[in-house]
Amino acid sequence: MLKSSNIGYPRIGENREWKRTLERYWTGQVNEEQFLQDMKQIRLSHLRKQKELGIELIPVGDFSYYDHVLDTAVMFNLIPSRFKQEDETISLSKYFEIARGSDGKVAAEMTKWFNTNYHYIVPELQNAEPKLTHNRLLELYNEAKVNLGINGKPVIVGPITLLSCSKGFTETNREKLLQSLIPLYIEVFNELKDAGAEWIQIDEPILVRDKETNIVAELQHVYHEFHKHVKGINLIIQTYFDSTEYYNELIQLPVKGIGLDFVHDDGENLQQLLNSDFPQDKILFAGIIDGRNIWKTKLLNKYQLVQELLTVVDSCRLFLQPSCSLLHVPVTVNNEEKLDLQVKEALAFADEKLNEITLLSRVLNEEEPFSTIETYDVAVDTIAKSSVRNVEHVQNAIINLNQYSTSRIEAAERKKLHAKRWKLPILPTTTIGSFPQTKEIRKQRLRWRKGEITNHQYETFIQNEIKKWIKIQEDLNLDVLVHGEFERTDMVEFFGEKFEGVAITEFGWVQSYGSRCVKPPIIFGDVYCKENMTVKETVYAQSLTKKPVKGMLTGPVTIINWSFVRDDLPFADVLNQVALTIRKEVEALEQSGISMIQVDEAALREGLPLKQKKKDLYLNSAVYAFKLATSSVQDNTQIHTHMCYSNFDDIIHAIDALDADVISIETSRSHGELIASFEEHHYQKGIGLGVYDIHSPRVPTLEELIQNIERALEALDYRAFWVNPDCGLKTRGESETIAALKVMVEAAHLYRSKLQTVSKV
């Protein structure tokens, strides 16, 4: 009989109780002892639920106080040098200090986990001295066993992926670091074996990237060492997010289980399996339910997939599971009482996906009739045929895309027009768009949603916030202003609420980084918009000042990448539907007198496929959609865009091809390393390399910001350089925001004076 397994479960809880517990601790509302006890209860409730849902192999160790990569690094003493001290114990406060920074200590870099919207803390391995500080997996395994009688499956990031996702070492040092990590993993595994663990899941998603010779050698060396020194416990190498490029090597390794993604593999894992002799001594952990999207699975298709798998692997050597950790989807659909019933019945969040696993397992094991699958699939078939997926004018527009212009005059010519229009100083200062969302703002928005205040009262409140922050920006002497986005909950959710064909959940939260949770919209039908979305607030802000106020929109690629997207259309078709909707809003802003318009593509890089052969199609589609959204403006209208934490080396040509007049990206948290991309490419358009990290509560020093500006100007023409934070300021407090911006403007003015003095000489 085949069995069921899970790879990982969402941390945040049905009502974000995990997030609230974290933030109560950070603000001193609870002490460490109470925090640990509260987190334990949350953790146990998640394990209990998986057990009740019928999952036979339940993960432990996937739960984290912040990030699972940080957990692994801390467990092996991979601590950034600036956080080390004589006392070698790594306290809870030290753990959070690495993730969030503190006075005088910049937080560790944060970047996207492969091609997802989850951010991990990048281990820094300069001067690393690996050792086992504590076996957290053993603690969590014992906790599950003692409290719930669950013989769990400990989960850990594998050593090859851990190194590949780290920084601060050379390839020469990599071999040394790997050699020092192997015995530490072995120690962890043997302690788990002694405690009674039967399985260990070793996550190696690096194995779905393009094949590298050195990784082949590492893979063989590491797992033969594990086999040599770890006896009596079953090791699983778990891959996900795409097909593995190392299939032939994997099946020859001395491990018991191989975990493959049969959802996002484009059929390649299946073909490799069908074309090979899967070893008789191995168990296949088949990821057959989509762990990254929220649509119900058409179980008939998965039933047929499993039948194909069973031609190669006996049922007794097959575990069914999600394609990846369910960290990337919300917890449960059950609490969604306001969704359209047709949409709700077509959804499956984490709990429902685990139910799909167990339901399919029971049918395949002949414990339930086949008709159960047919009944389950009705909701999937119903939405596929519905009118929301067959809007004639939207589909006609996609068929006739060639009627829309996607080009402008040369950027250099536009730059002259823009300089003449605004006469901005060198190193112009601005922000990315959002200002602090205070408790009062959230309170008034909630009251408005509940009908406790009228539309007029809420609009007046928002206008007062805009007026207040326009004055603050003018007092700070910023050069280009923003309205602050006080009417918006989230940069994607806000637009999702305005779009037709998009649903917003009440409780569909997922973790983005730390305690930051987002609620991705659900694109369930054809996308369009009936009325303007941002004009009113932007025009009001512009009426309060003579300085330019940027219109603020979210770009089509980011809306797609930060939403749960219908799975019945090609990616490019849905993307272009959104692009045409944004294009209409760009035109409305311009017609209302707004001539600087920022269309943020914060998520451009994170949607990049993991394999080289798929990248061009994605980037070409992304560039086309951005230009489709932005190219209908007048020549003297300036288009800005913003991008979040990313390695830009492999997309720098696509960034240039977007043809935005000004881009802003992060450079502070990566300590200026991203600038190298622009040194090599000689980027000619306007660029703001965010000079301070907004994700840390600390106020940057003047010296830090001057250093960041100087580093940027080693690569960029000062006449193209803008000075701005690295991201929006929504999550920061008012006082720290003002203080940080004051330092930023001072740094810009000091360096501006220096440049003017030099130019006169």
SS (H, E, C) 521-535: CEEEEEEECCCCCCH
Average the pLDDT over 683-702 and give the result.
Answer: 83
Is 562 annotated to bind ligand? yes
User: Domain 3-76+113-384 adopts which CATH fold?
Assistant: TIM Barrel (3.20.20)
Only one residue has tokens 């910049």, namely 106
Average the pLDDT over 640-652 and give the result.
Answer: 77
More confident residue, 727 or 668: 727
Residue 648 pLDDT exceeds 80? no
Q: What does the pLDDT look like over 338-362, one tens digit per residue?
A: 999 999 999 999 999 999 999 999 9
Is 432 annotated to bind ligand? yes
Strands 199-203 and 153-157: parallel
Is 485 annotated to bind ligand? yes
Q: pLDDT at position 672, please?
A: 53
Q: Where are the domains of the chain?
A: 3-76+113-384
Give me the active site residues, please.
695
Is 209 annotated to bind ligand? no
Name the DSSP class of 235. Answer: E
Cβ(261)–Cβ(239) under 8 Å? Answer: yes
Q: How confident is the model at residue 489 (pLDDT cuts 50, 70, 90)?
A: confident
Is 600 annotated to bind ligand? yes
Q: pLDDT at position 352, please?
A: 98
Report the side by side order of strands in the sheet with 500-503.
500-503, 522-528, 564-565
Q: In angstroms, how far is CA 526 from the centroid of its own chain? A: 25
Cβ(716)–Cβ(702) under 8 Å? Answer: no
Residue 388 pLDDT exceeds 60? yes
Residue 88 pLDDT exceeds 80? no
Average the pLDDT over 563-581 and give the result.
Answer: 96
Is 324 annotated to bind ligand? no
Residue 465 pLDDT exceeds 50? yes
Q: What does the pLDDT look like over 147-186, one tens digit per residue?
A: 999 999 999 999 999 999 999 998 889 999 999 999 999 9
Q: What share of the chain is helix, strand, coil (3-state, %, to 5)?
A: 45, 15, 40
Q: How confident is the model at residue 759 (pLDDT cuts 50, 70, 90)?
A: low
Q: Give the phi and the psi of residue 325 in degrees, each rounded to 5.
A: -60, 145
Q: pLDDT at position 670, please?
A: 52
Q: How confident is the model at residue 617 (pLDDT cuts 50, 70, 90)?
A: very high
Is 316 annotated to bind ligand? no
- CA 161, CA 164: separation in Å to the nearest integer? 5
Residue 669 pLDDT exceeds 80? no
Structure tokens at 85: 């001290």
Q: How confident is the model at residue 761 (pLDDT cuts 50, 70, 90)?
A: very low
Q: pLDDT at position 185, please?
A: 98
Average the pLDDT over 245-250 and give the result.
Answer: 96
Q: pLDDT at position 344, please?
A: 97
- CA 359, CA 53: separation in Å to the nearest integer? 10
Is 573 annotated to bind ligand? no
Q: What does the pLDDT look like over 25-61, one tens digit per residue?
A: 999 999 999 999 999 999 999 999 999 999 999 999 9
Q: How confident is the model at residue 195 (pLDDT cuts 50, 70, 90)?
A: very high
Q: How confident is the model at residue 674 (pLDDT cuts 50, 70, 90)?
A: low
Say what percent of the chain tops pLDDT 90.
83
Is 516 annotated to bind ligand? yes
Residue 459 pLDDT exceeds 70? yes
Reduced to 3 states (helix: H, G, I; strand: E, B; else coil), residue 254 is coil
Q: pLDDT at position 277, please?
A: 86
DSSP string covering 121-176: EPPB-TT--------HHHHHHHHHHHHH----EEEEE-HHHHHHT-BS--HHHHHH
Q: pLDDT at position 715, please?
A: 75
Is 61 annotated to bind ligand? no
Average of per-residue pLDDT values in the chain: 93
DSSP string covering 15-43: T-HHHHHHHHHHTTSS-HHHHHHHHHHHH
Is 16 annotated to bind ligand? yes
Cβ(351)–Cβ(331) under 8 Å? Answer: yes
Determine the length of the chain.
761
Q: What is the pTM of this model?
A: 0.90
Q: pLDDT at position 89, please?
A: 74
Q: pLDDT at position 671, please?
A: 47
Torsion sign over Cα 647, 652, 658, 660 = positive
Q: Give the phi and the psi of residue 13 in degrees, each rounded to 5.
A: 85, 160
